[in-house]
Amino acid sequence: MKIQESAEDYLEAILILKQEKGTVRSIDVARHLGFTKPSVSRAMSLLRENGYVTMDPEGLLELTEAGQAIAGPIYERHRMLTHWLIALGVSPETAARDACRMEHSISDETFARMKEHIADKQP
């Protein structure tokens, strides 16, 4: 299922923050993405309505199975593209920014071929 790029960014942020901190609240997502709390609250409401995120009574966010199915591959693309761009000589900051844009645009086929190409170059 294809969702909007912004929704992918929110789901990816929840995944990253969960791995880093163990728990995630909307304010953490707002800080991570540099968005306002009201913007993130609205996005979380839409993500909950669409079955990608749950929120417990204490405000802790969790990805559902559907949310994880989107966030996992997006984050894998982000990490691989960032490392690849850095290996090409791009600064880490620029590589991370560019990877964030690229991760949403390339096809599954292109990403698979890139992964194979990079794996073939590994010692």
Domain boundaries of the chain, sorted by first residue: 5-69, 75-121
Query: Looking at domain 5-69, does it have CATH number 3.40.50.280?
Result: no
d(CA 77, CA 83): 10
φ, ψ dihedrals at 50, nearest 5°: -90, 5
Q: Please give the chain's pLDDT, 123 residues, in tens.
A: 557 889 999 999 999 999 999 999 999 999 999 999 999 999 999 999 999 999 999 999 999 999 999 999 999 999 999 999 999 999 999 999 999 899 988 888 999 998 888 777 766
The answer to whether 48 touches 36, Cβ cutoff 8 Å, is no
pTM metric for this prediction: 0.86
**CATH architecture of residue range(s) 75-121:** Orthogonal Bundle (1.10)
